[in-house]
């Protein structure tokens, strides 16, 4: 097996962790759902039970949920600036009041060719004992997509959930349904990937070895720099980032509503996600000072950088990606990775990125023109446009507090 193939296997083992997608849905549909069950809007009083279900389904942990998980659920689903009572998160409730299912719904305000539209992101979908309740997840999903939103989206959808979307008239966006990986330092990346898969006691013993390999690679290895003749990158504050991203996104048919209050709130929430290090906000400018790209990325030295979002002018994708890779290298990261998006596919390939499918980006709408714009890649999905900014996707709660 050659070196690139070996590293591709490492990527498969170290790619972005599973998002809050549903548990395995059995193929059998012979079981009967209790007639007294009902799907209803989630209320704030349900959050303790929802957190318990989250722990059980996604963490395989039956203990009491940590307080910060309950608080985060409250913030994400009830305190969002765009919270919309007409498109709520939903629960599946037994006659005795026990919650057996939940689908988290995030509100989204978009601009499609100058027209404001209401959208939703279908996120965490969880069912207690799905083998005994094979129809529960589909009932929750059907209730959600039947809502009044103009378009329903999902950006971390696993295969069972994708099948449900497609049965309900949804479609996958293939170019936005992959993960990309650019390895900066092969040896430290391979060492850290191998160490991360060992039991905790062995990881602690080998951590100094991994750190030594990383130091040697950083000291002796080549230094990556973007093409300074074309672009200049800078780290900025929230307001500057939002202004630049809003300006660049006007090149797309579909973009986020440039609501500054919501934008600042989303960035604050994204910054609370600490597992992969601090959130950096970057603008890439042309030599004349015009913004041509922005990106949000989490950095932790000696680890892969996790890209939350890239917004780039179509003609500047390669330069923006080069700045991201060089900046990650300067921070001591072993690699950079993130979700693909249609307008940047060529840039990812030209940069020598590895690609793999892990979860799907899906949508459902009755508007043929909007569907065509999504399928043709005339938008920049993911990041603040999806649900990966939440701590529910790939972060820790409780004592570890995202420091793992």
Provide the CATH number for the domain around residue 130. 3.40.630.30
pLDDT confidence tier of residue 216, bands split at 50, 70 and 90: low
pLDDT band at 10 (very low <50, low <70, confident <90, very high): very low
Residue 368 covered by a domain: no
| Residue 382 within a domain | yes
How wide is the angle at C-alpha 9 spanned by C-alphas 201 and 195, nearest 5°? Answer: 15
Residue 224 has pLDDT above 80, yes or no: no
Per-residue model confidence as pLDDT tens digits over 307-341: 999 999 989 999 999 999 999 999 989 999 999 98
- Domain end, chosen from 140, 174, 208, is at 174
Asked whether residue 73 is assigned to any structural domain, the reply reads yes
In this prediction, residues 117-141 reach a mean pLDDT of 94
- Which range among 42-46, 183-187, 204-208 shows the weakest confidence by mean pLDDT? 204-208
10 part of a folded domain: no
CB distance 359 to 94 below 8 Å: no
Mean pLDDT of 124-138: 93
Give the whole-angstrom CA distance, residue 204 versus residue 371: 49
Q: What is the mean pLDDT of residues 228-257?
A: 92
d(CA 3, CA 159): 30
Residue 366 lies in a domain: no
20 confidence band (pLDDT: 50, 70, 90)? very low
CATH code at position 194: 3.40.630
pLDDT at residue 50 tops 90: yes
Give me the half-sphere count of Cα atoms (radius 13 Å) on the Cβ side of residue 97: 4
Q: Which of 130, 148, 174 is the last residue of a domain?
A: 174
Confidence of residue 18 (pLDDT cuts 50, 70, 90): very low
DSSP character at residue 39: E
Answer yes or no: is 33 within a domain. yes
Predicted pLDDT at 379: 87
Query: Which DSSP category does 344 fall into?
Result: G
Is 227 among the domain residues? yes
Buried b / exposed e over 41-65, threshold 16 CB at 10 Å, is ebeeebbebbbbbbbbbbeeeeeeb
CA 10 to chain CA centroid, nearest Å? 20
pLDDT of 118 over the 70 cut? yes
Same-domain check for residues 183 and 239: yes
- Does residue 1 lie in a domain region? no
Could you give the percent of the chain with pLDDT greater than 70?
A: 79
Tell me, yes or no, whether 82 and 208 share the same domain.
no
Domain end call among 122, 139, 174: 174
User: Does 6 score more than 80 pLDDT?
Assistant: no
Same structural domain for residues 103 and 209?
no
Specify the higher pLDDT residue, 101 or 207.
101
Looking at residue 35, its pLDDT comes to: 57
The verdict on 161 and 188 lying in the same domain is no
Please give the pLDDT value at position 64.
Answer: 94
Mean pLDDT across the chain, nearest whole number? 85
Residue 67 CB neighbours (<10 A): 11
Same domain, 167 and 257: no
Are 149 and 205 within one domain? no
Angle (deg, nearest 10), helices 67-78 and 47-58: 110
- The answer on 72 and 169 residing in a single domain is yes
pLDDT value at position 154? 95
Same domain, yes or no, for 67 and 197? no
pLDDT digits (tens, 9 = 90+) for 336-388: 999 998 889 999 999 999 999 989 999 999 999 999 999 998 887 778 989 99
Give the relative orientation of helices 186-196 and 200-220 as an angle to the nearest 10 degrees: 170
Same domain, 336 and 195: yes
Residues 6+ apart with CB under 8 A from 348: 180, 321, 340, 355
Same domain, 310 and 226: yes
Q: Could you tell me if 289 and 333 lie in one domain?
A: yes
Provide the percentage of residues in the chain whose pLDDT is more than 90: 70
Alpha carbons 173 and 254: distance in angstroms, whole number: 14
Higher pLDDT, 15 or 280: 280
- Nearest to 311, CA basis, from 231, 211, 379: 379
Domain that holds residue 31: 15-174
Number of domains into which the chain is organized: 2
Q: What is the pLDDT of residue 382?
A: 76
Cα(304)–Cα(336) distance, rounded to whole angstroms?
5
Residues paired with 386 in a beta bridge: none
Tell me: the pLDDT tens digits for 285-303?
999 999 999 999 999 988 8
- Report d(CA 360, CA 275) in Å as an integer: 23
Same domain, 87 and 201: no
The pLDDT score that the predictor gives to residue 404 is 37
C-alpha 398, offset from chain centre: 21
Entry field: residues in the chain: 404
């Amino acid at each position: 097996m050659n070196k690139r193939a070996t590293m591709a296997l490492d990527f498969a083992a170290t790619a972005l962790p599973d998002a809050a997608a549903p548990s395995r849905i059995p193929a059998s549909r012979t079981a009967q759902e209790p007639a007294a069950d009902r799907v209803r809007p989630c209320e704030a009083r349900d959050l303790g039970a929802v957190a318990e279900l989250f722990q059980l389904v996604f963490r395989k942990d039956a203990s009491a949920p940590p307080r910060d998980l309950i608080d985060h659920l409250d913030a994400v689903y009830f305190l969002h600036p765009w919270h919309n009572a007409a498109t709520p998160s939903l629960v599946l409730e037994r006659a005795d009041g026990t919650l057996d299912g939940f689908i988290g719904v995030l509100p989204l305000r978009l601009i499609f060719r100058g027209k404001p539209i209401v959208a939703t992101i279908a996120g965490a979908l969880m069912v207690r004992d799905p083998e005994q309740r094979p129809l529960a997840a589909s009932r929750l999903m059907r209730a959600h997509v039947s809502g009044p939103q103009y378009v329903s989206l999902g950006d971390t959808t696993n295969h069972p959930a994708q099948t449900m979307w497609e049965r309900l008239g949804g479609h996958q966006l293939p170019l936005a349904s992959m993960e990309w990986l650019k390895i900066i330092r092969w040896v430290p990346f391979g060492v850290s990937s191998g160490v991360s898969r060992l039991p905790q006691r062995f990881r602690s013993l080998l951590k100094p070895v991994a750190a030594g390999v990383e130091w040697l690679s950083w000291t002796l290895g080549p230094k990556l720099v973007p093409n300074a003749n074309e672009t200049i990158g800078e780290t900025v504050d929230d307001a500057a980032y939002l202004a630049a991203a809003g300006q660049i996104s006007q090149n797309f048919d579909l973009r986020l509503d440039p609501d500054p209050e919501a934008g600042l709130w989303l960035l604050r929430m994204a910054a609370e996600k600490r597992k992969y290090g601090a959130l950096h906000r970057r603008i890439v400018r042309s030599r004349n000072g015009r913004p041509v790209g922005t990106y949000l990325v989490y950095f932790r030295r000696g680890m892969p950088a996790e890209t939350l979002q890239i917004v780039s002018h179509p003609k500047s994708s390669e330069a923006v990606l080069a700045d991201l890779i060089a900046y990650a290298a300067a921070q001591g990261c072993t690699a950079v990775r993130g979700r693909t998006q249609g307008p940047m596919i060529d840039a990812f390939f030209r940069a020598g990125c590895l690609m793999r499918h892990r979860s799907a980006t899906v949508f459902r709408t009755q508007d043929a023109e909007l569907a065509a714009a999504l399928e043709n890649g005339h938008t920049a999905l993911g990041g603040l446009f999806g649900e990966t900014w939440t701590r529910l996707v790939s972060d820790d709660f409780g004592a570890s507090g995202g420091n793992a």
